[in-house]
Structure 1
C-alpha cells in the first residue's frame, strides 16, 4: 500500500494508480518539477502509470509492476538499480526491456529482485555485498537471471541482502551479514551465493528490513535474524523466535518493525523497544506497510494512519512535521487506498 525510501513515499491505490510524495530530486517521485529542491507534501499521481499491481522503493528510486507483467522504473540509477542497462537517472517512469511475465518485484537500498511466472528470478543494481547472488560483478545495470534450482514462492530485499522462499517452505539468503541478517550459523560479513537456512520450521512468508530478516511459519510463529530481532536474550544464536503468536504480516523499516496479528492488532519493536509492544488503536487494523522511515496502517473503518519521519513530506500530510503517534491521512485520499494487505496479481497469460 505505502512504500518508500528515505526521503520519498509511493502509494498504490485501488484503481492501479501510483501516487508519490516527498523529495523531488533525482527523479524518485516519477514526476517532473521545475526545481530539484522542491518537496511534494501532498501525494501526486504519476500521470504516465496505470494498471499497476505492485510498487517497491529503494533508497532513491522506485519500481512498479503493471498488470501485463512489465516493470517500470525511475529515480537514482548510479548503481544500475533501475535495470535500464545504463547508469542514467530517470525523471519519469520507463519500462524495463527484455523482462516479461513478471509477477513479483522487491527492492533493497540499491538493488532489485523480480520473479516471473515460471519462478525464474532476475536481479539488477548494486552487488557489492553479493545481494544479487552473483560472483564477481559489483554493478549489474541490466536484469540478469539468478542461478537458483528451487521453485520460488516469494522474494524479499533488505538493505544489502536478499532472501528467497521456496514453495516447500525453505528459505535461502545472500548478501551482507554484518548484523547477522542472513541467519547463518557461521559469522561472516557477506555471502555472494544463495544458501539455505537450517533450524527453521516450514515458512509461509518472508520480509526483510535494512539489517534483519523475518520469517512467518506455517503456524503463524515469527522468527527473526539480525538486529533488532524482537527478543531480549543475548545475541549468541543466529535465528530467534519472537515472543508473538498468530502473526499474519510483518513490515520492517530501517530500524523498527511492526507486526499484524490475526486478531487485527499491531505490535512494534526496535532498538528502543526490544520486545513487541502493542500499538494503541481505536479500530481494528487490516493492513500494515512500511517505508525506510515510516509506517502506515489501514483500519477496518476505512481510515488510514501514518507515523514516522516527515522532514521531506513523505507522510503525505501536507507538512514536514515528524509524527511519533499515528495520525489519519485525509479521508478523500485514504478512501483510494486498499484496506487489506494485497499481493501482486499474476501476469500469467
Structure 2
C-alpha cells in the first residue's frame, strides 16, 4: 500500500504502558486507542511500527528510527538507560534502517545495505556479539554476518537472520534450556546454544526469504511458500507430537488448504499464516483467544505415545479463521493480534492491559472491530498495539505520514 507523502496521518496506541511504550508522555495503561505524541516525527513518512517487551520502534520512509518506552538495558539504542515516554529519534544511526525486530529487552535493526545492528540486553547472547557484552545502550554491528541480510527476527531471548543467499542464522541461548531437557543426553546443536550467529542446518536449497520468532520457537518462510518450524513445542505450535524440534521441520501444505503461504507472523506461543488466496490460518496456544476461533474441535487433539513424553501432548493443527480472509495486514503481540480487513481494524486475544482496544480487560476470542481507528499501518509490542490512520478534524496536532505496509516481524 502506498500513499501520498504529503498526506497527514496520526499515530494511535493502546494497551500496556508501564514504561511509556505508547509514546503518550505518561505511563498509564490505555484500554482504548489514544493519540501518541509524534512531534519528533515532524510529518515524516512512516514505514514500520513494531515493539518489544516494553518498548516501541517506528521506522520512517527515510530509514530513520524513532523509539520510546523501556530502556533499562539500552534497548532504545540512545546511549543511555533511561526510559522515554515520547518518541525520540535514534541519533547514532547514520545508516538507513529498513526493518527492525524487537525482543523482550533488545532490538535488532537491519540497514538498507544488509548490515545487522543490535542493542539492549545480551544476557543470553541475543545481540550476536559474543559473551563479553552484558548489555549495550549503543547499537553494535553483528560482525560475523558477512553476507547481506534480508530479514531479521527476535524472540524472547534469541534472534534470527536470513542472508541474501537464503541461509538462516540463529543466535542467543534462549532455547538452550528447552533443548537440554528435550534432547538429553544428546548434546544441544550449535545453532541453539551460540552467542554469535550460527548457521541453522537442514535448510539447504530452500531459499528462505523471511523469519519470525516466538518465545522459544522459530519460523521461516521460503520463496516457494513453504513454512519450516523448530524449537519448543509446549503448546503444539509446531504441529508435531515432539516436545522439541531441534531442526527446521516442514509444515505440510495439506494443513493449509494445499496452498502456498505468503505471510507468517508469530506471537509467543501461537502462529498466524496467510495463504496465496488470502485465507488466514492460526494454531498453537489459544486459551487467551489468540487463535481468533473456537479451539474445541478436530484441529486440536490429544496425541499419546513414546514421543509425547510422560503425558499427553496437545497438537494444535492449523485451522482457518474465515472472518479474516482477505486481510491486508496482520500483526502479532505476545498473546494478542491485530489485522486490517476492508479498511477496518480488528483485534483479538489477550486483553489484560487493554491491548485489544475495546475499553475492557476481558480476553477477546474472535476478531472484533476496534472503533475510532481507520488503519493504514499496524504494529504490536508484547502487550501493546499501534496503528497509523488518516488525520481527522480533531487530530490535526497529532499527524504523521505513512508510505507503505509494515514488515510483520514480532
Task: Tell me the TM-score range normalised by the shorter chain.
Answer: 0.7 to 0.9
2:262 and 2:274 in contact (8 A); partners too: yes
* TM-score normalised by structure 1 residue count: 0.85
Mark the runs of 5 or more structure 2 residues left unpaired by the alignment. Answer: 2-6, 254-258, 287-299, 301-315, 379-388, 390-403
* SS class of match (2:318): strand
Whole-Å separation in 1 of the counterparts to 2:62 and 2:324: 39
Q: How does 1:1-349 map to 2 (within 5 A)?
A: 17-33=10-26, 36-48=27-39, 49=41, 50-100=44-94, 101-135=96-130, 136-147=132-143, 148-175=145-172, 176-177=174-175, 178-179=177-178, 187=188, 190-200=193-203, 201-228=206-233, 229-235=237-243, 237-238=245-246, 239-244=248-253, 245-271=259-285, 273=300, 274-281=316-323, 283-299=325-341, 301-330=342-371, 332-337=372-377, 342-343=405-406
* SS class of match (1:281): helix
Deviation at 1:270, TM superposition (A): 0.7
Mark the runs of 5 or more structure 1 residues left unpaired by the alignment. Answer: 2-13, 345-349
* TM-score normalised by structure 2 residue count: 0.73
Moved over 6 A (4+): none
Deviation at 1:262, TM superposition (A): 0.8
Whole-Å separation in 2 of the counterparts to 1:106 and 1:234: 28
For CA contacts below 8 A with separation 6 or more, give which structure has more relative contact order.
Answer: 2
1:41 and 1:320 in contact (8 A); partners too: no
1:70 and 1:102 in contact (8 A); partners too: yes
Whole-Å separation in 2 of the counterparts to 1:315 and 1:211: 24
RMSD over equivalenced CA pairs, Å: 2.6
Whole-Å separation in 2 of the counterparts to 1:282 and 1:104: 25
Deviation at 1:125, TM superposition (A): 0.3
Whole-Å separation in 1 of the counterparts to 2:281 and 2:324: 14
Whole-Å separation in 1 of the counterparts to 2:28 and 2:406: 34
1:56 and 1:107 in contact (8 A); partners too: yes
